Structure 1
Amino acid sequence: MAKVTTIIDIGSNSMRMVVLEKSSRFAFNLINETKARVKISEGCYENGGNLQELPMQRAFNSLESFLSISKSLKSRKIICVATSALRDAPNSNLFLKKVRNELGLNIKIINGVKEAYYGGVATMNLIYEEEFITVDIGGGSTEFAIVRNGQIEKCISLDVGTVRLNELFFSKGNIEGAKEYLLEKLKEVLECGHEIPSTVVGIGGSIRALSKVIISKTHYPLDILHGFTYCVDLNRHILEQIVNAKNSNTLKHIGIKKDRFDTIKEGTFIFKTILDELNIKRVVTSGAGVREGVYLTDLLRNSNNKFPANFNVSVKSLLDRFQIDEKQSAYLGRNAREIFDVLKPLHELDDKYRHLLVIASKLNSLGTTLNFYKSNDNTFDFILSGLNYGFLHSSRVTIAHTIKFSKKSLPQKRDLKHFESLLPPIEKMQWLSFMISLNLTLNQDMSMPKLNYKLKDNKLKICFEKSIFLIENEIAKLESPKGLKVKLSC
């Protein structure tokens, strides 16, 4: 696969592009994301599904700009897919030929089931959930993929979208007609022969806009959409406010951005109806969707469209680009496991924290590549925004705080107050802070010493092959929890 790849998704309402750069076999990072609200389907549902001249010209002009960005970023591969508006339009060939002849770009029209599948591939690889149903609300259609245990069980596409409902029902004030239409379509999901999970992974601009409002209104401490999770019952009133909003001023007061005024009521109406009818309890917001699914299907074509077991693309990508020394990172990861395991009778932490401690130990030095001074603070900010895929928000915040309080005094409650709702209790954070501090101190001279650990009567004995003064001096400065004593010997 090319080192730099461009994926373009032409939807009914928006056209989006991502440019992704590989850093190793399976790892990649985003180097550009561009969106254009071209509304290519505008007016088509009132005209037999035919694309109209002005929207087609907007889409063509935007594609021209997208290709200019792609070329500047030295992309060697471009995959362009089109969804509902073009697959429904009897005259879509006019647009396809114009783009092919004048821009040299081939557009692949994908059917609704394939669109749903791409959403499933993206979320099962990039969202930390075992069982869920995706909901991807677009301008012309809505897609569903049922995912369990890393497998896509069922893909469904319904002709229900924000632009379609607006032109057929909302613009005519026929809300009841829209409800009847939607409920009839949803029977295909309810009667699909598979149990519907109680968790939705939401894809698409309308669902992300809703999540932004909920983040703001609930004073959520992390301003990041991918992986943001909320309870449906606790936030149903916000969805109802949007659906019942009388005008754009009301939407603005609720917190909706201006560029969403034209579709947010329809999008929220669709989403709320789906949540109610499918009896959904929980929503996880996905920043990844069809574009990432197209990319991953190409990248992982020889591995059943799944990352290898125990592989995290964000961790690997960060290490590829910013780690100082691969051997040092690997050593710190191994040592973190040993320290966690030998101290388990004291800290009694769940094994999931071993995984987080290992990652924090491996990623600890990333901030040094940005600026040696304040390295821990640099890494803290970097992790919060850069550890994008495959982590719950709570895990991301825990890793960042573990690094922030490495080789410092143990954190106190006041230090964790802003992110308190996403962090484990203070006692657990103190243990994680101590264990990463001990890990880093034991490799203070970067010699990767061979170590042997023994725990007895609240005393941790660490045996070295030879005395290392620099380490002995620093160990004495560490603050340990629960009166633990650390002793070095040769």
Structure 2
Amino acid sequence: MAKITTIIDIGSNSMRMVVLQKSSRFAFNLINETKSKVKISEGCYENNGNLQEIPMQRAYESLKSFLNISKSLKSRKIICVATSALRDAPNAKEFISKIQKDLGLSIKVINGETEAYYGGVAALNLVDKNSFVTIDIGGGSTEFCFVKDGNIEKSMSLNIGTVRIKELYFNKNDIDGARNYILDNLKKIFEQNIEIPDTAIGIGGSIRALSKVIMQRNEYPLDILHGYKYKVSKEEEFFDSVINAQSNDDLKNLGVKKDRFDTIKEGTFIFKTILDELHISKVITSGAGVREGVYLSDLLRTSNCKFPSNFNVSIRSLLDRFEIDPKQSAYYGNNASKIFEVLKPMHNLDDKFKTLLVVASKLHSIGSTLNFYKSNDNAFDFILNGLNYDFLHSSRVTIAHTIKFSKKSLPSKKDILQYEELLPNLETMQWLSFMISLNITVNQDFSRPKVEYRLNDDTLSIDSTNKTFFINSNIEKLELPNELKIEL
């Protein structure tokens, strides 16, 4: 696969592009994301499905700009897919031919099932959840991909979309007609006899826009959309407020952004109707969708479109780009595991914290690559935003804080106050802080010594092949949690 790849997704409402750069076999990072709200399907549902001239011209001009960006970033491969608007339009071939002739860009029109599958591939690989249904609300259709225990079971598409519902029902103030239309389409899901999970992964502009407003209304401490989750029952009143808004000022007062005024009511109505009918209780928001699914289907085509077990693309990508020495990173990871296990009788932490400690230990040095001074603070800020995929928000915040407090003193209550709702309790954070600090200190001269740890009662004995004054004196300065004592 090319080192730099461009993926363009022509949707009914918006056209989006991502440019992704490979850093190793399976790892990649985003170097550009561009969106243009061309509304290519505008007016088509009132004109026998035919694309109209003005929307087609908007799409044409935007594609020219997208290709300029792609070329400037030296992208060697471009994959362009089109979804509901073009697959439904009788005159789509005219538009596709013009783009091919004038811009040299081949557009692949994908069917609804394939579109749903791409959304499922993205969620399966980039969201930390094994069983779910993706819901991807677009302008012309809504896609569903059912995933159980890490395997895609069914992908399907229904002709439910914000622009379609707006033109056929909402513009005529026929809300009951819209609801009956959606419910009638949803019967096709139940006909499949699929086990419907209680968690939905939301994809698409309408669902993301709703999640952004919910985050702001709840004063959520982390400004990251991907991986944000909420309970449906807590937000039903807000959904109703959006649906029943009488004006753009009402939407603005609810926190909806101006660029979503045109279809947010329809999108919310579709989403709430689906959640109610499928009995979904939890929603996880995904910043990744069809574009990432297209890319991953190409990148992982020889491995059943799934990353290898125990592989995390975010960690690998950060290490590829910012680690100082791979051998040091590997050492810290292995040593973190040893320290966690030997101290388990005292800290009694769940094994998920061992995983987070290992990740934090491997990544802690990237702060020095960014800027040696205040490297822990640099890493903290970078990790909060850099662990883009396959991490719960609580996990990435815990990793970032563990790195931030990898120093002599333990964190206090006030140190974790800002992100308290996403962090474990203070005692857990103090144990993680101590363990990563000890891990770094025993290898402070980068000699990667062989170290044996033994816990007798409340005393941790440390036997190292590197018993220097420099190392020992720094270990003695570490603040210890609870009743722990250290013997060198």
TM-score by length of 1: 0.99
* Aligned residue number for residue 468 of structure 1: 468
Partner of 1:412: 412
Match of 1:76 in 2: 76
Alignment CA distance shift 1:455-1:164 (3 Å): same
Say yes or no: does 1:9 pair with 2:14: no
Asked if residue 348 in structure 1 is aligned to residue 344 in structure 2, the reply is: no
CA offsets 1:30-87 (integer angstroms, 9 cap, x no match): 0000000000000000000000011001000000000000000000000000000000
Contact persistence 1:49–1:90 (CA under 8 A): yes
**Counterparts of 1:358 and 1:51, CA distance in 2:** 53
Aligned to 1:160: 160
Residue in 2 that maps onto 1:37: 37
Q: Hey, what's the Cα distance between the residues in 2 that align with 1:468 and 1:117?
A: 57
CA deviation map 1:287-324 (0-9, x unaligned)? 00000000000000000000000000000000000011
Equivalent position of 2:191 in the other structure: 191
* Letter paired with 1:309: S
Deviations 1:230-288 (A, max 9, x none): 00001111111000000100000000000000000000000000010011100000000
After superposition, where does 1:173-188 map in structure 2 within 5 Å? 173-188=173-188
Partner residue in 2 for 1:358? 358
Q: Is the 8 A contact 1:132 1:199 kept in 2?
A: yes
Is 1:376 matched with 2:376?
yes
- Inter-partner Cα distance in structure 1 for 2:4 and 2:450: 41
What amino acid is the match of 2:19? V
Aligned-residue sequence identity (percent) comes to 68
1:466 offset after TM fit, Å?
4.1
Q: Where do 5+ consecutive residues of structure 2 fail to align?
A: none
C-alpha distance in 2 between matches for 1:244 and 1:442: 61
Say if 2:429 is the partner of 1:425.
Answer: no
- For residues 113-171 of structure 1, what are the alpha-carbon distances to aligned partners after superposition, in whole Å with 9 as ceiling and x for unaligned? 00000000000000001210000000000000000111100111000100000110111
Report the alpha carbon displacement of residue 470 of structure 1 after superposing the two structures with TM: 1.2
**C-alpha distance in structure 1 between counterparts of 2:320 and 2:470, whole Å:** 29
Q: Distance in 2 between matches of 1:255 and 1:244?
A: 14
Q: CA–CA distance in 2 between the matches of 1:80 and 1:464?
A: 57
Deviation at 1:190, TM superposition (A): 2.4
Matched, 1:273 2:276: no
8 Å CA contact 2:408–2:477 kept in 1: the answer is no
1:284-299 matched pairs, under 5 angstroms: 284-299=284-299
Deviation (angstroms), 1:482: 1.2
Aligned to 1:27: 27
Unmatched runs of 5 consecutive residues or more in structure 1: none
Mapped partners of 1:441, 1:84: distance in 2: 57
How far apart in 2 are the matches of 1:235 and 1:177? 24
Deviations 1:169-221 (A, max 9, x none): 11111111111101100111122211100000000000000000100111111
Check the 8 A contact 1:190/1:278 in 2, yes or no. Answer: no
Q: Secondary structure of 1:340's partner? A: helix
Q: Is the 8 A contact 1:458 1:483 kept in 2?
A: yes
Structure 2 CA distance for aligned equivalents of residues 95 and 130 of structure 1: 39
Q: Aligned equivalents of 2:194 and 2:183: distance in 1?
A: 18
Instruction: Determine the C-alpha separation between the residues in 1 that align with 2:458 and 2:370.
Output: 39
For 2:408 and 2:11, how far apart are their aligned partners in 1? 50
2:422 is matched by which residue type in structure 1?
L
Amino acid across the alignment from 1:183 = L
Matched residue type, 2:228: F
The total of aligned residue pairs comes to 488
Contact 2:12/2:84 (CA < 8 Å) preserved in 1?
yes
Residue 465 of structure 1 and its aligned partner are, at CA, apart by 2.1
1:386-420, CA deviations, whole angstroms, 9 ceiling, x for partnerless residues?
Answer: 10101110001000000010013111111111111
Which is further off, 181-190 or 311-320?
Answer: 181-190
Quote the offset at 1:467 in angstroms. 2.0
What CA deviation, in whole Å up to 9, does each residue of 1:80-115 have, x standing for no partner?
Answer: 000000000000011000000000000000000000
